[in-house]
Amino acid sequence: MKPDAFIEAARTWIGTPFIHQGRARGAGVDCLGLVYETARTLGLIDEPWRPYSREPAAGMLEETLRACPALKEVYSIKPGDLLVFRFARDLQHIGIYTGRNIIHAYEPRGECVEHGYCKKWENRHVLSFRFLAFDEQ
């Protein structure tokens, strides 16, 4: 599968209201729900991800991603990669890199959005993951 298909599928969620642990396009989604549901719909993953608190702490988000057999950690980003961001002390947010932008369900905006991957987001970016299926092209 090409990363472009993943990015385009994620874009169909733009405008969906932010709701913690939401999983329904048009009704409500959070940042991890956007990634999970987009990937699940495309057949990139099939195993459920464990529940998490409103503000994942103590490595929960990182553990969830590292435990997913469909993902690998990467050190240079490409379109379709998952970017993990730090807020305060913990890794608490995830978005999809498009090559110039990020797509993510962002609580302060109240919805799923796409905007530039600017210095603000670069400074918060800590980890990156890629779906193994993207390497099989």
Q: What is the pTM of this model?
A: 0.94
pLDDT digits (tens, 9 = 90+) for 10-66: 999 999 999 998 999 999 999 999 999 999 999 999 887 766 666 655 678 888 899
The count of structural domains within the chain is: 1
Give the residue numbers spanning the domain of 10.
3-136
What's the pLDDT at 78?
A: 97
Q: What is the DSSP letter of 108?
A: G
CATH code for the domain in which residue 121 is found: 3.90.1720.10
Tell me what percent of the residues of the chain surpass a pLDDT of 90: 74
H or E element in which residue 91 lies: strand 90-97
pLDDT of residue 88: 76
User: What residues have CB less than 8 Å from 99, skipping those under 6 apart?
Assistant: 78, 79
Rounded Cα–Cα distance for residues 121 and 29 (Å): 20
Question: Between 127 and 87, where is the model more confident?
Answer: 127
Segments in 12-69 forming alpha helices (H): 31-41, 60-67
Question: Which residues are registered as beta bridge partners of 130?
Answer: 72
